Structure 1
Amino acid sequence: MKMPSNSASLVSVLLVYLSFGYCHTNVFKIGAIFEDVKSGDGALVLKEAFTTAISDINNSEDYDFKFLPIIEIIGDNPYEAMNTTCTLLEKGVMAIFGPSLEDNSNVVQSITDAKEIPHIEVRWDDHPQNGTIVNIHPYPDVLTRTYLDIIEAWGWRDFVILYENNESLQRVGELLKMFNPSKHRIVVRQLKDEFRTVLKELWRSGATHFVLDCTTDILPEVLNKAQQVGLMTNREHYIITNLDFHTLELTRYRYSETNITGMLFVDPDDKRLIKAAAKIYNMEEGMEFAAGWKLRLEEALLYDAVKMFAMAVKEAPQLKEYPFDVSCHNNQMFSEGTTIINYMKNFDYTGLTGRINKFDNEGFRKNFALDVIELMEGGITKVGVWNYSSHVQPLTITRIVNESTEDFSDIRNRTFIVAITLTQPYGMEKESTENLQGNDRYEGFAVDLIQELAAMRGFNYTIVVKDGKVGKFNNATGKYTGLIGDLHDRKIDLVVTDLTITYEREEAVDFTSPFMMLGISILYQKPTKAPPGFFSFADPFAFEVWRLLVLACVGVSFVLFVVGRISSSEWENPYPCIEEPEYLVNQLDLRNCAWFVTGSIMQQGSEIELKSVATRMVAGMWWFFTLLMVSSYTANLAAFLTTESPDPHFNNLRELVNNAEEKGIKYGAKLDGATANFIRDKADTDKDYAKAWEFMKKHDDVLVNETKDGVDRAAKEKYAFFMESSSIEYEIQRRCNLNQVNGLLDEKGYGIAMRKNESYRNSLSTGILILQNSGKLEEIKRTWWEQRKGGGQCLDKSSEAEATSLNLVNVGGVFGVTIAGTILALLMAMLETVLHAGKKIS
């Protein structure tokens, strides 16, 4: 989603300021300090939340004053925070919101306390200090109590705490103090750069219960790695402490049957929150319902903080001292700042983050409530409420924890009608000379999968073949068509094929947990060999090496010339019969030195004889240099001559959509398929997908009816076909002129479809997980992808080492030895000169 420019919000506020400039309405300046060190659009969204709250206040008739925001963006630098705070005071702000980082905030607070300027924070802070500060964020010690209550409610005795950094370590450290070591076995591990190593060790140890404390920056990757190493089954239990847990995309974990518990501080379905979030994120009309699930806690807290500050200013006595002359360089103070803070601490206000009605002496929020949530197959589900109170039990759980083993008797001996599609390699008709009957007529991955599940769960099945039309809702008849329609009409019970789990389809049918994870990628012809260039002989060395090689030749020639002039042994008597000639000659002039150097590197030598130790040392170093350089060049030249250099038409989606017209490439997908719908939906938020979808709408012939048609076009013409990566893997094993371009454009899965609310869904999902953990599913896939029906014909040469130009990193040592030897030769030449002069004097 494209974030709006902050200039629009600021301009609107300035227009309000100007429009009331000639009236009696008071205009109060308030400052905010945000950091740009947050990942993604963190600082940008906070600015939007701040300006949105101010805009709502300025547009409200409940206030007889207006706010003018002054926003500053800084880095993680306390000195910069100090200067910025002083700048805001000089501009006349009556309060400062932020910043988020601890070191920056401490500096700001020290100044605001001294000047009695209200300081409002919305960050996690475990070191409260008295003064003119109000922190709307839930108090850390109270939050820790919620973790403890949930762990005790779930009955955990042994568990692992996974933390990210020092801040999260402080949180879990407080949690550790609340447990008795004699009754609980707790292991604490840090999530370092490579999460997989830590998670793999925990998998080997048999750990099943985890408390996960980390930022949303790494949380998706941690869960992804946990799933890869086998820590996302029905045996594992997670408590995730991050209060922005609801903003993550968790679809891929909904069918894993993993027990994932989190906490929800805001209500994403609250109408006021949705309205505010839609403004902050500039959601398009019709998409506002999703805004609440995007809003992070810090943004909601900041919005509430601005609203509470406005209420405090409204209720406080008339501000007689505003505007004031408060500066870091004088002794002036804002004496009414403490009054405003006291009003904020005593308000009973219900905002986006719930009821705010009790602050402690340090200005921290201790009285709050939050929802306990779990990730289930239907999505995030509320299972309990935690409410801080000294008089009642804080945690109330509304779901029943069932520890009994699931009974699969409801599926045993039942008979299902199973629909497959004749899509390789999921469903195919057997090629046989015999007259096959019933289920024996078919083979493929889907047939083997349902056969394994039937053997495991004890049910019977009859296979029927359907076309590949998934089906859509018909407004005229009020029914679904295609496979979904057949499920609703009870013509079939299960659909086992390459059916992608999507949000739209989940509205109509239920799916099991995914039996195969995949993503959308691009199928295209393998690149042809690039024609050799006129200077192909220079390819073994990078340009920087050739440049330094030329400089080395010139440099060594000059050094040899200088050393030859210094060394007395290189000067000869041109007339041997005359003992005291008028002059001496030296063969090492610049021309001969250059010839000597050139002959050496060409491995041809020269007739020049070097006599002094210094010049011979220069020559020795140069010969060592040329030996290694010529050997390296010869070896790499052979690699270049025997390796094809591909010339791809494009390497990713952006290059495809930007260069397709120029290079005569067409691209498309299956008509009305999940892939085409994905590109259509992404077109609203990504310009590359927008170009791709516009091209597909403009050219009807690029959308094919069947996947096979798209693969055939990709093999025969300049046509890029968007399809699932699993199908691409199958095709490139059999069509050697095709390959996969770019990585995965998304992540999704194939699942078995059935009617809504069928009792056997959990039984089939658990069976799929068992097959995955045992490696049986991978074995079936390997059989149909690499062994049967022509698989394995095309050897994957992508892993072969390609010839690459040698750069300075590869040959830097050779240059270093040559330079060192040359310097040593110069020193020897000087020493020889000194000794020769001393000998003549004596």
Structure 2
Amino acid sequence: MNPRQRLFLIALTLLVLATCSHGIMRPIKIGAIFHKGDEDHMSTFLKAISETKYEHLAPAFEFIPVTKYIDANTDSFKAATATCELLEEGVAAIFGPASPHTRGIVASIAARYEIPHIEYVWRENEGLRAEAEEDKNPSSMTINTFPDSEMVSQAIADIVDSMQWQGFVAIYENDDGLSRIQKALTLKRKKDNPITIRQLGNGPDYRPMLKEIRSLSICNVIIDVEPKNIINVLQQAKEIKLLADYCNFVITYLDASKLPISEIRNGTAANITGLSIRENDDIEGIDWIDSAILYDAVFLLHKAMETLNSRNIDNEESIMIDPVPLSCDENQKYQAGPNITSLMRELSKMGKITGIMNIDEYGRRRDFNIRILDFRPNVVQTAFWDVNGLHLIRNEKELENYLYKSIQEKTFKISTREGEPYVIEVTDGSTRGVLIDQKRYEGYCIDLIELIAKHLGFKYTFELIPGPYGSYDPKTKSWNGLIRRLLDRESDLAICDLTITFARESAVDFTMPFMNLGISILFSKPEEKEPNLFSFLSPLSADVWIYMATAYLAVSIMLFVQARMAPGEWDNPHPCNADPEELENNFDLKNSLWLTIGSLMQQGSDILPKAPSIRMLASMWWFFTLIMISSYTANLAAFLTVDKMDTPIKGVEDLAKQTKIKYGSIDGGSTAAFFRDSNYSTYKRMYAAMNEARPSVFTKDNKEGVDRVMKSKRQYAFLIESTTLEYQMERNCEIEKIGGLIDNKGYGIALPRNSPYRTPINGAILMLGEKGILQQLKKKWWQEKGGGLCIKDDADKSVSTSELGLANVGGVFLVLMCGCGASLIIAIFEFLWNIRKVAVREKITPREALMAELKFAVNIWAVTKPVKIAKSSSGASSTEGGLGRAASTARSIVGSFLRLDMLDKFDNSNNRSNDRKIN
């Protein structure tokens, strides 16, 4: 025999001896009061009493059950009578009753005679605390082994708070249920997130109330009803489709694991959370939480009395635990009663079913664990609650795996609306895109959902929703459009050019933006002005041109006058003659005009001033022409290469200041809401102007807005989101964007509130953005699919800015032609005037002189022209040119066309030195 076996035999011998010294299995009566209908409690009590004798190998006493039945609605007198009868039986403790109408008198009598009174059902803390304060002793005779009501209420509130519900509906059946959810009802929440409370009412048909809840579009529900009614409520909620996807239910009953909730949930996607304090499910026949707690309470009492009995053996002054018959007419008390309740508070007994049971000084069970169960196809514990709060026990990886698995098994219903380029009908009869309502559609959003679905592995179907995107009507307090579908839980996702706004996000959830944008101003391009034929005159104003012409004439005259005054400008015409009779001045009026015009044209002149005063005047003129010509040249480039367009507005501020150009947006869209809800005075003023305009400046969609801009002839501007504007500008070259972005926002995928799928979809969008797929997708639908029509025009225009067309410089050509024509006319007049002089001088007819001069002019081979000198009538030689050179014979006009050798002989005989050749 080993030492362990030897010690065991010694202990067993001592236990048997101790038992024999105090009597073998002496009976101790335990009383209980039940109501009619508490048969389950009755059977559990008897079962527990029977099984306490197996707690020890050699028990010192045996519990004997003594039960009394009374009506639940009976008066206090009958309850007191039943209690007194139990005292006369000599019971050591009294269990029950469960009814709030009768347990008060039983607790009062038990406290008077110091009989331990044990409760096992829900009871408000105020009752226990009031009784303890009334007795001025916190150690009252009543102990409630049901979890403390205040802590249960806090647990429910913590669980609801962890779910981050914005609003919910609470269904309760009686005052106890309302008390349990009281703390959940007082959780901090936003003002716009209401809490609706409904009492269950008389059954068995609860559908009217459940339909009312469904019409509220709130699918977060707390159910606190009697456990026998929970299944009926859930079943009827399933029938009216309240037990649907994105609906969340919390069952406050503390033994939800014993209810067939998973069976009801089958075929639905609702999230049902249940609570349970049951730690052990091996004991058969105990299906209700009250019965389980009653079972554990019997064993707690048994342990306390065993402990007290053991202490009696060790101490000389022992307190006998054996009760004696008492009478309600006497003041005799149960001697061991206070010690038993004190030990029950001191002991930490692990209940066989409901776990640890610690009782405080007021008789409340303050230490217990609540398991948080998720009723999926298989019941899964996700967390637990204790005195330290809520604790998650499932790691993120497990939750993520379950979520992704549920996504792959789900077919998402996606709501959208038609609009380029997000959802476009396929009209060429091809099979690309997706089928929606017997028609095929394609577009940016269709491709985006396909990419997300491929990444997450889910299936999907589309539905087309006409009407608005989704706006809130404060009069009806309801949403419309796509948001309405999500609130009614008719759709899993909503995608289109749906802007993320504060109002919408208060009703539904949004993913991270898949496209960023802002509000822009759409306006029609102005008609390009025809270049002015004399646009080269534009760099200088008409006044400047007049002043320049005046300055030119003034300076020319000053040159002429000052040159005549300046001695340095009078030169000897014959340098070889040291003593000339005459001096000549080069600055006659024609030369003065020639010098100033040559300087103005930056060409200079072969006539230069000599006198200091004339040089000073010329220098000032050259400086003036340098500045003026440089300024003209610099400004000419801008005027000839840049088309001036008449743009009356350059941004939103200009648009707000004027009243001639009307402006508007989509009616009920996010753009209109931005101006309506803005606190900026300019935007508020703009919305007021839009709202008061007649006819209305709001449109039903973007297409109508663009058409209105095109047809209004620059009398209407459309406030549109920048991405849509970019799309339209790729296809319509007659519109333009004015100014920058007015705000910054984004398009997102909308989901029902608290949708578990938002995080996976966010991850997919983030992945697509990091890989550049979103940008490629935008390029595909904005530019490659029917876009790029205006890119060539813009490129041509950018190239043309470095080139000048004939329309830009046509005036210069015109001036050249006019100048050339004028010079030709002057040349003709000079030619004819010369013909007259020749005819007079040579005494020939003008016709003969004209023919002779024409023949010489057209003879391009003649490079010299002889000078004809006419004879006088007396035969004496005439003086020509003031040079004193005589000629013996006058050369006739006709002789000029004779051979050159004949001319030479003729000249030699008549003093060749007097001939003057004109090159």
TM-score (norm 1): 0.41
Larger RCO (CA under 8 A, 6+ residues apart): 1
TM-score (norm 2): 0.38
Question: Computing the radius of gyration over CA atoms, which structure comes out larger, 1 or 2?
Answer: 2
